[in-house]
Structure 1
Amino acid sequence: MFKIKLSKNDIIEKLEITDVTAEGNGVGHIETEDGRAAVFVSGAVTGDVIKCKIVKVQKSLCYGIILEVITPSPDRFDRGCDVKSTCGGCVFRHISYEAELRIKENIVKNAFLRLGKFPEESFEFMPILGCEETDGYRNKAQYPVSADKDGKAVCGFYAQRSHRLVPCTDCRLQPPVFSEILKFSMEYVNRKHISPYNEQTGTGLLRHIFIRRGYHSGEIAVCFVVRKNAERELRPLSEELMKRFPDIKSVTMNINPKNTNVIMGDELRTLSGADVITDIMCGNKIIISPRSFYQVNTPQAERLYSVAKEFAALTGEEDVLDLYCGTGTIGLSLADKAGHVTGAEIIPEAVRAARQNAENNHIDNADFICADSGQAAKQLLDSGRKPDVIVTDPPRKGCDTLTLDSIVKMSPERIVMISCNPATAARDCRYLADNGYRLVKVRAVDMFPAAGHVECAAVMVRQDS
Structure 2
Amino acid sequence: MKIKIPVEKNQNYNVKVIDLTYQGLGVAKINDFPIFISNTLPGEEALIKVTKVKKNFSFGKLIQLKNKSPEREDNVDQKYLQTGIAPLQHLKYKYQLKFKQDQIENLFNKAKLNVDVLKTIGMDNPTHYRNKAEIPVRIINGQLETGFYKRQSHDLIPIEDFYIQDPKIDQVILIVRNILRQYHIKPYDEVNHKGVIRNIMVRRGHYTGEIMIGLITRTKEIPHIDSIISKIVDQTQDVKSIIQNINPKNSNVILGRKNKLLFGRKYINDQLLGLTFEISLQSFYQVNPVQTEKLYSLAIKKAQLNQNDTAIDAYCGIGTISLSLAKHIKRVYGVEIVNQAIENAKSNAKINHIKNVKFVANKAEKQIVKWQEKGLKPSAIFVDPPRKGLASSFIDTAGKMAPHKIVYISCNPSTLVRDARCLMKYGYHINQPIQPVDQFPQTVHVESITVFEK
Q: Which TM bucket (shorter chain)?
A: over 0.9
Partner in structure 1 of residue 448 of structure 2 = 456
Does the CA contact (< 8 Å) of 2:436 and 2:448 recur in 1?
yes
What amino acid maps onto 1:71 in structure 2?
N
Which residue of 226, 230, 234 maps to 1:235?
226
- The unaligned stretches of length 5 or more in structure 1 are none
**Counterparts in 2 of 1:234 and 1:22: CA distance versus 1, 3 Å:** farther
1:386 aligns to 2:386 (yes or no) = no
Give the Å deviation of 1:25.
0.5
1:162 aligns to 2:158 (yes or no) = no
1:317 aligns to 2:312 (yes or no) = no
Give the Å deviation of 1:30.
3.5
Between 11-20 and 72-81, the greater mean CA deviation after superposition: 11-20
> 2: distance between equivalents of 1:88 and 1:267?
30
- The unaligned stretches of length 5 or more in structure 2 are none
Partner in structure 1 of residue 123 of structure 2 = 131
Give the Å deviation of 1:338.
1.1
Tell me the secondary structure at the aligned position of residue 125 of structure 1. coil
Does the CA contact (< 8 Å) of 1:11 and 1:51 recur in 2?
no
TM-score, structure 2 length as denominator? Answer: 0.95
CA RMSD of aligned residues (A): 1.8
1:209 aligns to 2:194 (yes or no) = no
> 1: distance between equivalents of 2:48 and 2:77?
23
Which residue of 396, 402, 412 maps to 1:405?
396
Give the Å deviation of 1:11.
5.5
> 2: distance between equivalents of 1:205 and 1:12?
43
Which residue of 366, 377, 382 maps to 1:375?
366
Partner in structure 1 of residue 45 of structure 2 = 49
What amino acid maps onto 1:26 in structure 2?
G
Partner in structure 2 of residue 24 of structure 1 = 24
Partner in structure 1 of residue 138 of structure 2 = 146
> 1: distance between equivalents of 2:105 and 2:185?
49
Query: CA-to-partner distance for each residue in 1:421-460, whole Å, 9 max, x for gaps?
Result: 1110111111101221001231111111111211111001
1:346 aligns to 2:337 (yes or no) = yes
Tell me the secondary structure at the aligned position of residue 224 of structure 2. helix
1:77 aligns to 2:73 (yes or no) = yes
Does the CA contact (< 8 Å) of 2:179 and 2:231 recur in 1?
no
Partner in structure 1 of residue 249 of structure 2 = 258
Give the Å deviation of 1:13.
4.9
Tell me the secondary structure at the aligned position of residue 434 of structure 2. strand
Partner in structure 2 of residue 297 of structure 1 = 288
1:417 aligns to 2:412 (yes or no) = no
Tell me the secondary structure at the aligned position of residue 198 of structure 2. strand
Which residue of 84, 92, 116 maps to 1:88?
84
> 2: distance between equivalents of 1:347 and 1:284?
22
Does the CA contact (< 8 Å) of 1:38 and 1:61 recur in 2?
yes
What amino acid maps onto 1:417 in structure 2?
Y
Does the CA contact (< 8 Å) of 1:16 and 1:50 recur in 2?
yes
Give the Å deviation of 1:60.
4.1
What amino acid maps onto 1:370 in structure 2?
A
Partner in structure 1 of residue 417 of structure 2 = 426
Tell me the secondary structure at the aligned position of residue 111 of structure 1. helix
> 1: distance between equivalents of 2:190 and 2:14?
42
Does the CA contact (< 8 Å) of 2:179 and 2:232 recur in 1?
no
> 2: distance between equivalents of 1:114 and 1:316?
39
Tell me the secondary structure at the aligned position of residue 69 of structure 2. coil
1:118 aligns to 2:113 (yes or no) = yes
Give the Å deviation of 1:112.
2.1
Tell me the secondary structure at the aligned position of residue 223 of structure 1. strand
Partner in structure 2 of residue 445 of structure 1 = 437
What amino acid maps onto 1:246 in structure 2?
Q
> 1: distance between equivalents of 2:11 and 2:243?
52
> 2: distance between equivalents of 1:387 and 1:145?
47
> 1: distance between equivalents of 2:374 and 2:106?
39
TM-score, structure 1 length as denominator? Answer: 0.93
> 1: distance between equivalents of 2:166 and 2:173?
12
What amino acid maps onto 1:51 in structure 2?
L
Partner in structure 1 of residue 99 of structure 2 = 103
Give the Å deviation of 1:217.
0.9
> 1: distance between equivalents of 2:191 and 2:226?
27
What amino acid maps onto 1:415 in structure 2?
I
Tell me the secondary structure at the aligned position of residue 126 of structure 1. coil
Give the Å deviation of 1:59.
4.4
Between 297-306 and 189-198, the greater mean CA deviation after superposition: 189-198
In percent, how many aligned pairs have the same letter?
Answer: 34
Query: CA-to-partner distance for each residue in 1:265-314, whole Å, 9 max, x for gaps?
Result: 11111111111100001111011001000000001011111121122111
> 2: distance between equivalents of 1:189 and 1:375?
46
Give the Å deviation of 1:410.
0.6
Which residue of 349, 363, 377 maps to 1:358?
349
